[in-house]
A and B are shown apart, each in its own frame.
Chain A
Amino acid sequence: MAPPPTSGMSRRSLLRGLGAAGVAAAAAPALAGCVVESAGSAGAGSGSAANEVTGAFDWKRAKGTTIRILQTPHPYQQSFAPLLKEFTELTGITVVPELVAEADYFTKLNTELAGGAGTHDVFMTGAYFIWQYGPPGWMEDLYPWVQNSSATSAEYDFEDIYEGLRTSTRWDFKTGSPLGFGGQWAIPWGFETNVVAYNKALFDKRKIKPAETFDDLIQLAHDLTDRKNNRYGIAFRGSKSWATVHPGFMTQFTREGGKDFTVSGGKLTAAMNSPAAVDFTKKWAELAKASGPSAWPTYDYPQCTMDLGNGVAAMVYDADSATYPKNKPGASKEAGHLGWHTGPAGKDGSYATNLWTWSLAMNSASKHKLAAWLFIQWATGKQAMSKAVKQGAFADPTRKSVFDGSFKQTLGAFPGYLETFEKVIGSTKIQFTPEKQFFDVAESWAVGLQQIYSGADAKSTLDKVAATATKAVKG
């Protein structure tokens, strides 16, 4: 059992928190959309608590501290759970993990951060969430911590983390600014590229290979669809959620020349209705209808990967880390029969790929910032990540040295996984333009996609989506 958290809130901080809470509550029901000024400090730059750490680096510097970490159940979290005692032995810091189901994770996290209580010192977050949680000052800028040799071990080697990942969690919060500038709001911990996983046994039996162009993918998926025998060609997400557009859709959309926004003079103009975007989106919706799951508008990644694992879907265009567990012995009906492929290249040969990274961030209202940083540093460091990867469920590690080392050794029976990763990693980054209304914009995009799937005209639907998006980012 975990000890109850201590609360060191003053009356003033309570009132500030309540003020923030009032605004946050007014913005309900979409709690995940709350952006309010927090009771916590922004913690960036010269005012960072990192500057208070001086002298030689010492893992034991925060000995005796207890930190609480907020996580969602995930192979990354499960791979690290057995290692937490090693961290305690190394640092003398006790870690109290709190798990929250993925569906409600961001509701809890949003409340926690909006309340400014600092209950949880460290939390798991995705890169897109930085665009919402960062501007109100809810997140600690970790760049001063990385740069401080008194707080960070010389062995840490931040540059070993893939560049596309380091930049994905860095932003200056200015509209129109690209990622990779400003504060480092989180450290990538585990990540996924969005590529095609397929039933290799079926492909081998039929003597076919994965498609190299988008038009070939459409034809291949059509050929593999056999509704009478409950088999269909390709699964990808279709639910009314921002998460529908970010995996396979955004990857192929980008490869086919699409962009979400164009930036001019610091102003964003939605571009998901450009001729290339309309053409691609129309084909994508038709692909879902002709060769996708019959309940496509309800599909999220668990349904997609479940159908692949059960042999119902011949291909899945989604996160490699979500399809990876299905190939583990005993994990699914088709375990051992799966293979991976980059997915079709764009007309210009582009393998631009969108990514998702579960990263570790620090609550700016944390009262144990040094201990929190030591934990983040340890968990994203080479040694611990390497050990976690050896547990066999950690895909993909964010460090090149760990990928090339421990991870490759676990990939014996995963045909195409390594080749696919190496082919796309150089072009893997967040393909969206960073903006604070991301979730609203992406969800309305998903709704537009569903409408096109249902028969609406692609051009006029995307014109409306683009108009709404342009208006949203101006506000």
Chain B
Amino acid sequence: MARRVLGPGQKRVSAGGVAADTVTVLWFVFALFPIVWMFLLSLKNNVQQTSTYFGFTPTWTNYLTVLGSKGEQLTSVDFKSAVLTSVLACAGATAVSLVVGIPAAYAAGRWKYKGSESLMFQMLSFRFAPELMVIVPLFVIYHYLHLFDTTVGLIWVLQLVTMPLVVWILRSYFQDLSPELEQAALLDGYTRVRAFFTVALPLVRPGIAAAALLAFIFAWNNYIFPLILTDSNATTVTVAVTKFLGGGGQAYYNLTAAAALLGVLPPLVLALCIQRYLVRGLSFGAVKS
């Protein structure tokens, strides 16, 4: 029996392909299930939050509570302000890290000098050290410098999170970039600074987008620094979400789920907006020789 001729874009169905697709779908279900579960939980009332699985009467009340004055009464924090603070602090921290980190990554990628590797590893060590190790001295310094409970203070401390990430990611991009391109520009009479801005920088733009997004997400998810170094004035989303948990026999898992899902939205929207750059950026180093 003759095999059917496939049209453009059509693929022959094989048992292996079906199995691979099935595994992929199952993996997606597994990976997304916690999000689905949180969403369902966020639609339940206080009684049904722990006594039902899928059969319940859905309500949007929890979202209204989180965003409204009732939520503020429960937590002593306006959740909307916490979201705004997180956006400002994380965007600010990412911006500072990019402004300082891109030249640092370029220098680290282009020049080797005595101690350059040690310097890079020292910077990476900020990511190794548990935050609790440095939190008490930071707390004292922040009080002395009047940075406690301020957005500026958050931007500063989040450099411990974002700066190593930006420098290490972008260094590999600059290393992968052929130095001949900049040398050609230098031969044409460009200064090193001009060659950096007009030749090297545009070529690593996807990498910058990827590093910026990752830095933003890591800053957004940070918990210990804002927990200890802020109060109600500069509370971030991660800290505000936990305030809905309740205590002393009164647990509000439904409110916590609603707050957590609302808190995920800004980085999710950002990731979707620059998804194109992100995919290019993350695969950038992989395809370079």
Whether both chains belong to one complex is answered with: yes
Interface residues of A (CB under 8 A from B): 1-5, 7, 9, 14, 17-18, 20-22, 24-25, 28-29, 31, 34, 68, 72-76, 78, 81, 96-104, 107-108, 111-112, 114-117, 119, 301-302, 305-306, 309-310, 319, 321-326, 330-333, 335, 358, 393
Q: Which chain A residues lie closer than 8 Å to B58 at the CB level?
A: none
Interface window among B31-39, B226-234, B271-279: B226-234
B232 near A331 with CB under 8 A, answer no
Q: Which chain A residues lie closer than 8 Å to B149 at the CB level?
A: 2, 4-5
Query: How far apart are the CA atoms of A9 and B140 in the complex, in Å?
Result: 9
A9 near B51 with CB under 8 A, answer no
B249 near A324 with CB under 8 A, answer yes
- Number of B interface residues at 8 Å Cβ cutoff, please give it: 41
Q: A28-B130, A98-B231, A101-B243 are in contact. Are A117 and B251 (CB under 8 A)?
A: no
Query: How far apart are the CA atoms of A379 and B246 in the complex, in Å?
Result: 21
Nearest first, the 8 A-B pairs at minimum CB distance are A101-B242, A322-B249, A21-B136, A74-B248, A117-B143, A17-B140, A102-B247, A325-B249
B75, closest chain A residue (CB) = A99
Output the least CB separation between A303 and chain B (Å).
Answer: 9
B30 within 8 A of A: no
Query: How far apart are the CA atoms of A165 and B73 in the complex, in Å?
Result: 29
Output the least CB separation between A298 and chain B (Å).
Answer: 15
B133 near A25 with CB under 8 A, answer yes
Partner of B47, one of A5, A18, A333: A333
Partner of B250, one of A75, A96, A108: A75
Interface residues of B (CB under 8 A from A): 46-47, 50-51, 73-78, 81, 130, 132-137, 139-141, 143-144, 146, 148-150, 227-228, 231-233, 242-243, 245-251
Output the least CB separation between A103 and chain B (Å).
Answer: 7
**Cross-chain pair count, CB within 8 angstroms:** 156
Query: How far apart are the CA atoms of A119 and B74 in the complex, in Å?
Result: 22
A98 near B51 with CB under 8 A, answer no
Q: A1-B233, A4-B149, A322-B248 are in contact. Are A73 and B140 (CB under 8 A)?
A: no
A14, closest chain B residue (CB) = B144
Query: How far apart are the CA atoms of A319 and B250 in the complex, in Å?
Result: 13
A310 near B148 with CB under 8 A, answer no
Output the least CB separation between B270 and chain A (Å).
Answer: 26
Query: How far apart are the CA atoms of A25 and B232 in the complex, in Å?
Result: 25
Query: How far apart are the CA atoms of A7 and B140 in the complex, in Å?
Result: 10
Output the least CB separation between B216 and chain A (Å).
Answer: 23
B249 near A96 with CB under 8 A, answer no
Q: A310-B51, A332-B47 are in contact. Are A117 and B140 (CB under 8 A)?
A: yes
A14 near B47 with CB under 8 A, answer no
Query: How far apart are the CA atoms of A57 and B75 in the complex, in Å?
Result: 34
Partner of B231, one of A2, A25, A74: A2
Query: How far apart are the CA atoms of A321 and B141 in the complex, in Å?
Result: 40
- Beyond A31-B135, A99-B76, A319-B249, 4 additional pairs, beta carbon < 8 A: A29-B132, A103-B245, A119-B143, A331-B46
Output the least CB separation between B250 and chain A (Å).
Answer: 5
Q: Which chain A residues lie closer than 8 Å to B150 at the CB level?
A: 4
Q: A21-B137, A102-B247, A325-B250 are in contact. Are A108 and B227 (CB under 8 A)?
A: yes
Query: How far apart are the CA atoms of A209 and B1 in the complex, in Å?
Result: 79
List 23 A-B pairs, Cβ < 8 Å.
A1-B78, A1-B232, A4-B148, A7-B143, A18-B140, A20-B136, A22-B137, A25-B135, A28-B132, A31-B135, A101-B245, A104-B227, A115-B136, A115-B139, A115-B143, A119-B143, A309-B51, A310-B51, A319-B249, A325-B249, A330-B47, A332-B47, A332-B50
Q: Which chain B residues lie closer than 8 Å to A29 at the CB level?
A: 130, 132-133
B251, closest chain A residue (CB) = A302
Q: Which chain A residues lie closer than 8 Å to B73 at the CB level?
A: 81
Query: How far apart are the CA atoms of A368 and B249 in the complex, in Å?
Result: 33
Partner of A96, one of B139, B148, B232: B232
Q: Which chain B residues lie closer than 8 Å to A115 at the CB level?
A: 136, 139-140, 143
Q: A2-B231, A21-B139, A115-B136 are in contact. Are A305 and B249 (CB under 8 A)?
A: yes
Q: A107-B227, A330-B46 are in contact. Are A99 and B249 (CB under 8 A)?
A: no
Q: Which of B46, B136, B246 has the most CB of A within 10 A?
A: B136
Query: How far apart are the CA atoms of A285 and B185 in the complex, in Å?
Result: 76
Q: A68-B231, A100-B227 are in contact. Are A21 and B140 (CB under 8 A)?
A: yes
Q: A98-B76, A302-B251 are in contact. Are A24 and B136 (CB under 8 A)?
A: yes
Q: Which chain A residues lie closer than 8 Å to B242 at the CB level?
A: 101, 103-104
B135 near A111 with CB under 8 A, answer yes
Q: Which chain B residues lie closer than 8 Å to A108 at the CB level?
A: 227-228
Query: How far apart are the CA atoms of A24 and B137 in the complex, in Å?
Result: 9
Q: Which chain A residues lie closer than 8 Å to B136 at the CB level?
A: 20-22, 24-25, 31, 34, 111, 114-115
B248 near A98 with CB under 8 A, answer no
Query: How far apart are the CA atoms of A96 and B77 in the complex, in Å?
Result: 11
A31 near B249 with CB under 8 A, answer no
Output the least CB separation between A249 and chain B (Å).
Answer: 18
Q: Which of B50, B74, B130, B134 has the most CB of A within 10 A?
A: B50
Q: Which chain B residues lie closer than 8 Å to A358 at the CB level?
A: 248
Q: Which chain B residues lie closer than 8 Å to A81 at the CB level?
A: 73, 76
B144 near A9 with CB under 8 A, answer yes
Partner of A5, one of B130, B137, B231: B231
Output the least CB separation between A60 and chain B (Å).
Answer: 26
Q: Which chain A residues lie closer than 8 Å to B139 at the CB level?
A: 21, 111-112, 115, 117
B247 near A73 with CB under 8 A, answer yes
Output the least CB separation between B280 and chain A (Å).
Answer: 39
A31 near B132 with CB under 8 A, answer yes
Q: Which chain B residues lie closer than 8 Å to A117 at the CB level?
A: 139-140, 143, 148
